[in-house]
Chains A and B, each alone.
Chain A
Amino acid sequence: MLFSTFVFILGFLPVVFLGYFILNKKKLLIASKVWLIFSSLFFYSWWNIAYLPLILASVLFNFILTNSMLHVKASSVMNKKVLLLIGIIFNVGLLVYFKYMDFFISNVNALTDSEIALLHLALPLGISFYTLQQIAFIVDSYEGLVKKKNFLDYTLFVVFFPQLIAGPIVHYKEVMPQFESIKNKIFNYNNIALGMFIFSIGLFKKIVIADTFSIWVHQGFDVAYTLSFFDAWIASLSYTFQLYFDFSGYSDMAIGIALLFNIALPQNFNSPLKATGMIDYWKRWHITLTQFITAYIYTPIVRSFVPLTFHKAMFATLLVFLISGMWHGAGWTFIFWGFLHGISVVINHYWQKKVKIKMPQYLAWFITFQFLNFGNVFFRATDFDRAISILQSMVDYHHILVSDYLIRRMRYWGYSVEKLDGYSAAHSFVDVDAVLMIVLGFIIALGFKNSTQLQQAFSTMKRVSIRWYLWSILLMSLSFMVMSFQTTTEFLYFNF
């Protein structure tokens, strides 16, 4: 099920909300937990019930494993460490199998000229997220951070529908105490108001902003045969904005929905497009992922390098970004994207540590944004050739293909242009809408407070001012109207 559909907002959500709090009111606390779990699984299965058994098996296996860790003796063969290894291998193995098998096979085929058949497995929904979440739990269990738990609590922690499919990635200790707290069993007007407010922002970002950009992104990255200079820039900038508004909008909606249930999910974005450096960027983009990778992948690696030198840390950083690239997608373009980000973070560290010149903020922002935009071309393009071709068009100043639209405009202004030397008319999708939208994208991303800051401001307000009220119903109603116009949408991070 998608957050941005009528069936979710007007059907599923009210029913689950009412059910949860009615059961709570009747003091049927176990039943209300089961209700949430059942609803979450229903939400998950709406797409395709075929993947339900897999997530249930994963939850069951991990629960039994971590439970055994509590009872096992250090001296036995099957001690904690072995269980940890089994747990990690199982979870990573599952992810690798569904996500990367075909990638490995096609590479083996290319290298050894063999013809092994591809498995053509479809990616189970949310597997990249619930895998990471459970690995963190296994490690925490191994290190003794998890004291008591029961099966229902654990299941709810993994499958809670607001964050099940595309994060934010949460820790058991962040979320379970909130579910346990008696205070949270009664519905809270402040939280509901705040939740609706944030949800309307997220919905607007996704439906009105991100989905509009997706038109030009699709044209530029999937459809067009060759791109003119303007087309290439419109396509790449549109994608940078689409990615940001779509994913941060999704996170906003997740946070807003969870608030209805009195659960506070962690912040996932903090105006990443305002970042003035690549280190800064990763502290602002997909924050929960950065935290996970830092804590559970980067730290173990550098700890094994102690005493830690700068260069060893840089090596670990690069390695970790390659892994991150792989996590984002099974393809060389993703690995390369990870590599680009890794290198740039390393350069940023170098600059900070060795080069003592402080760069002016605007320049730092500009360089960071350009780099992000460039890197995103690899993230989105279906293969290397396509990415290179788009990048070439972006810098190919000498072969600016002039679009039919521009030729007509120039004629109108008195410049007769049939064919200019070295140029030729090409089909272009550049129009005024695209340029306006990109300008709007910059204004919103750079000029406004982000949703977390708005959330802060809203929650500290004792009374909601008319201005805030009007803005929120405007965003919500515009989103609803656009939803009624739309037929199909794409949730970007859904393929993870």
Chain B
Amino acid sequence: MTKEEVLVKMQEIFRETFNDTSLVITEDTNAEDIDEWDSFNHINLVASIEKAFDIKFALGELQTLENVGDMITLMITSKL
């Protein structure tokens, strides 16, 4: 998958998790940009992403993810 394809799919997941159909995300989007993106929704978000892409994030990886771009890079290089 390309970065753009991943991004599009991610956007769907974000919209669903945060219950906002007009939400737009870019590679720079991080927790500060979205009000609802607190540590609890983060866990749910990650779980949804894992389910949707059929991947698993390692515990050791989770804390290094600063923004959407980091997540996508990680997913593309090691999982997809």
Using a CB–CB cutoff of 8 Å, the interface residues on chain A facing chain B are 136, 139-140, 143-145, 171, 173, 291, 294-296, 299-300, 302-303, 306-310, 313, 352-353
Q: Is B21 an interface residue (CB 8 A)?
A: no
Chain B: how many interface residues by the 8 Å CB criterion? 12
Could you list 14 A-B pairs, sorted by A, with CB under 8 Å? A140-B58, A144-B58, A145-B58, A145-B61, A291-B63, A295-B62, A295-B63, A296-B59, A300-B59, A306-B47, A308-B40, A313-B40, A313-B43, A352-B38
Taking CB atoms, residues of chain B closer than 8 Å to A145 are 58, 60-61
Interface residues of B in 27-65 (CB under 8 A from A): 38-40, 43-44, 47, 58-63
**Interface of chain A, helix or strand or loop or mixed?**
helix
Docked Cα-Cα span, A160 to B62, in Å, equals 26
For residue B39, which residue of chain A has the nearest CB? A313
Taking CB atoms, residues of chain B closer than 8 Å to A173 are 60
Taking CB atoms, residues of chain A closer than 8 Å to B61 are 143, 145
Q: Which of B47, B58, B60, B61 is the most central at the interface, judged by chain A CB atoms within 10 Å of its CB?
A: B60
Taking CB atoms, residues of chain A closer than 8 Å to B39 are 313
- Min C-beta distance of B75 to chain A, whole Å: 15
- Partner of A143 from B43, B47, B59, B63 at Cβ < 8 Å: B59
- Min C-beta distance of B62 to chain A, whole Å: 6
Taking CB atoms, residues of chain A closer than 8 Å to B62 are 295, 299
- Min C-beta distance of B11 to chain A, whole Å: 21
For residue B51, which residue of chain A has the nearest CB? A306
Taking CB atoms, residues of chain B closer than 8 Å to A139 are 58-60
Contacts A140-B59, A145-B61, A313-B43 supplied; 11 other A-B pairs, CB < 8 Å? A143-B58, A143-B60, A291-B63, A295-B62, A295-B63, A299-B62, A300-B59, A307-B47, A308-B40, A308-B44, A352-B38
B60 x A302 contact (CB < 8 A): no
Taking CB atoms, residues of chain B closer than 8 Å to A308 are 40, 43-44, 47
Taking CB atoms, residues of chain A closer than 8 Å to B44 are 306-308
Docked Cα-Cα span, A303 to B47, in Å, equals 8
Docked Cα-Cα span, A329 to B58, in Å, equals 29
- Partner of A136 from B38, B43, B60 at Cβ < 8 Å: B60
For residue B44, which residue of chain A has the nearest CB? A308
A140 x B60 contact (CB < 8 A): yes
- Min C-beta distance of B45 to chain A, whole Å: 10
- Min C-beta distance of B18 to chain A, whole Å: 14
Taking CB atoms, residues of chain A closer than 8 Å to B59 are 139-140, 143, 295-296, 299-300
